[in-house]
């Protein structure tokens, strides 16, 4: 099993025992982040730690980190030295001490602690250091049992040096914990143990993460099935920015688990698309050793990715957007599964779309895919948008008319579709592109927004007497086709839906 260390970060000494018990349910190791304690709680915590060290079966990692290295408060060098001198005699031989590389330069500290119990660590909260190899070599000179290097990733490609360092440590026979922090570094937390990282960190819950990009221990075990990931695991994922709150990992990983497939789906935060495709995707120039099979593509890369592909499905070419990449030998193939998924789910509710009057609200990439699908079903399509010039670009897809959204009503339309982000969880949640008054007489209102499950647009539609459909069904339908493209296998659609609904209700 992959080693997962759960950090415990509480402000009072009397909270430590309960937090450690909770951590022990999901952890292999437990890190006591004593820098989280209020300053007046340290002496009481040291007494508590002595009892915990003897009474807990899990190895403990003691950490007292200053703010500049990712700690929770400012701690002077003198405070740190005094802490470690007092702490050393109070723990069990199996326990570990996470000491910053700079602190270990003090001989009196290093000589008091057996090297077999030392984690020599370095944290860079702003970047990936340019001389990572040199840093690694200097840290090795400290004769610690384990080295830990954590750096800030601002793009998925910042993970490449971390994977390279893990490979070097494996060759050297060195125990190394290597992590890229931040959302862009999440893949190092999931794939790190399969690449030789001594452990990975997982929080107790979303609120108790102690570093940027840290996900929960339960997600590592249950969502990403980290214990089953190895060098042969098929890797798929989502590229975009942002990707942190996507449902796609829940949907696809549930399908992989149900089919008992050795595969994982990971969110990749990508800013610089060209570099990511060249350095991490294209087989001929890929710089990391992984079994990458395919990618889902979301904003802002659906159009920009086209020029980096070797072949594009005709539908995706006409829509002008790719949401799925399949790695086929040395080539990258692009598809758009959005249009077909939308039409499939709409027809399941509405029936034949021939001559149906359909209003699409929005003029972005999602709207373009919908218009493409609807016109091929011989529907009469009108586009409503705030930006008329942008909407006019959809005329090439045989739309019947383009209208300004402001003060419009949808009398006489059979179907109205919201293809804008209005109503999405967060700052847009209270908004709707149409009111109940505007929707009166419409037969069906379809909202592409899937989070929350019930949007303001859907409430307005029901108040107007319309049937209302949310975006979850389309999201699942397009994911089903992606799964087929990547694996040549039929997924368990019910498992995908249950996983998505469970996560939406949790959020």
The residues annotated with a catalytic role in the active site are 302
All residues at 6 or more sequence positions from 295 whose CB lies less than 8 Å from its CB, including other chains: 236, 237, 238, 239, 268, 281, 324, 325
- Write the secondary structure of 446-474 as one string of H (helix), E (strand) and C (coil): EECCCCCCCCHHHHHHHHCCCEEECCHHH
**Alpha carbon of 436 to those of 47, 346, 426, 460, 498: distances in Å?**
63, 21, 22, 4, 30
Give the Cα-Cα-Cα angle 342, 343, 348 (nearest 5 degrees): 105
Name the residue with tokens 């590389």. Answer: 101
Classify residue 203 by its DSSP letter. Answer: B
Q: Give the total residue count for the chain.
A: 507
Classify residue 216 by its DSSP letter. Answer: B
Question: What is the rounded CA–CA span in Å between residue 116 and residue 382?
Answer: 71
Structure tokens at 193: 């143990």
Cα four-point dihedral sign 336, 342, 343, 345: positive
- Give the residue from 276, 197, 188, 196 showing the smallest Cα distance to 224: 188
SS3 content of the chain, % helix, strand, coil (to 5): 45, 20, 35
Classify residue 221 by its DSSP letter. Answer: I
Structure tokens at 383: 């586009």
Name the residue with tokens 């493409």. Answer: 372
The SS3 of residue 234 is strand
The SS3 of residue 424 is coil
The SS3 of residue 477 is helix
Question: What is the rounded CA–CA span in Å between residue 334 and residue 316?
Answer: 7
Structure tokens at 34: 């004593």
State the DSSP string of 23-59. HHTT-SEEEEEGGGS-GGGHHHHHHHHHHHHHH-SS-
């Amino acid at each position: 099993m992959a080693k997962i260390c759960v950090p415990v970060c509480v402000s009072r000494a009397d909270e430590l025992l309960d937090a450690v018990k909770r951590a022990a349910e999901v952890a292999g190791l437990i890190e006591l982040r004593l820098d989280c304690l209020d300053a007046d709680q340290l002496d009481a915590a040291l007494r508590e730690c002595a009892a915990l060290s003897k009474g807990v079966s899990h190895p403990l990692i003691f950490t007292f980190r200053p703010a500049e290295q990712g700690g929770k408060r400012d701690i002077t060098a003198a405070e740190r030295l005094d802490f470690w001198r007092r702490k050393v005699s109070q723990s069990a031989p199996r326990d570990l001490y996470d000491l910053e590389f700079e602190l270990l330069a003090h001989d009196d500290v290093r000589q008091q602690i057996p090297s077999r119990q030392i984690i020599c660590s370095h944290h860079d909260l702003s970047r990936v250091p340019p001389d990572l190899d040199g840093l690694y070599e200097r840290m090795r000179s400290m004769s610690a049992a384990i080295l830990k290097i954590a750096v800030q990733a601002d793009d998925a490609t910042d993970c490449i040096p971390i994977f390279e360092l893990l490979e070097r440590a494996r060759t050297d026979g060195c125990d190394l914990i290597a992590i890229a922090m931040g959302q862009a570094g999440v893949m190092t937390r999931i794939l790190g143990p399969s690449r030789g990282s001594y452990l990975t960190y997982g929080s107790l819950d979303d609120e108790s993460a102690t570093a940027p990009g840290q996900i929960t221990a339960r997600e590592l075990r249950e969502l990403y099935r980290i214990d089953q990931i190895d060098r042969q695991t098929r890797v798929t994922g989502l590229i975009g920015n942002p990707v942190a709150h996507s449902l796609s990992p829940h949907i696809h990983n549930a399908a992989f688990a149900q089919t008992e497939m050795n595969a994982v789906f990971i969110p990749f935060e990508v800013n610089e698309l060209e570099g990511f495709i060249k350095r991490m995707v294209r087989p001929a120039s890929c710089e990391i050793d992984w079994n990458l099979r395919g990618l889902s593509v979301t904003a802002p890369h659906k159009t920009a990715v086209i020029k980096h592909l070797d072949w594009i499905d005709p539908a995706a070419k006409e829509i002008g957007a790719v949401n799925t990449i399949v790695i086929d030998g040395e080539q990258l193939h692009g598809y758009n599964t959005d249009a077909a998924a939308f039409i499939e789910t709409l027809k399941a509710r509405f029936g034949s779309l021939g001559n149906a009057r359909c209003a699409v609200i929005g003029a972005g990439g999602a709207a373009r895919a919908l218009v493409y699908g609807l016109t091929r079903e011989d529907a009469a399509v009108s586009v409503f948008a705030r930006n008329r010039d942008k909407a006019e670009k959809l005329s090439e897809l045989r739309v019947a008319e383009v209208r300004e959204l402001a003060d419009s009503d949808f009398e006489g339309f059979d179907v109205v579709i919201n293809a804008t982000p209005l109503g999405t969880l967060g700052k847009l949640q209270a908004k709707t592109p149409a009111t109940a008054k505007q929707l009166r007489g419409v037969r069906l209102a379809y909202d592409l927004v899937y989070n929350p499950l019930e949007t303001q647009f859907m409430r307005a539609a029901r108040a107007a007497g319309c049937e209302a459909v949310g975006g979850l069904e389309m999201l699942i339908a397009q994911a089903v086709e992606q799964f087929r493209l990547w694996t040549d296998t039929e997924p368990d659609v019910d498992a995908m839906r249950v996983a998505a609904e469970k996560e939406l209700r949790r959020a």
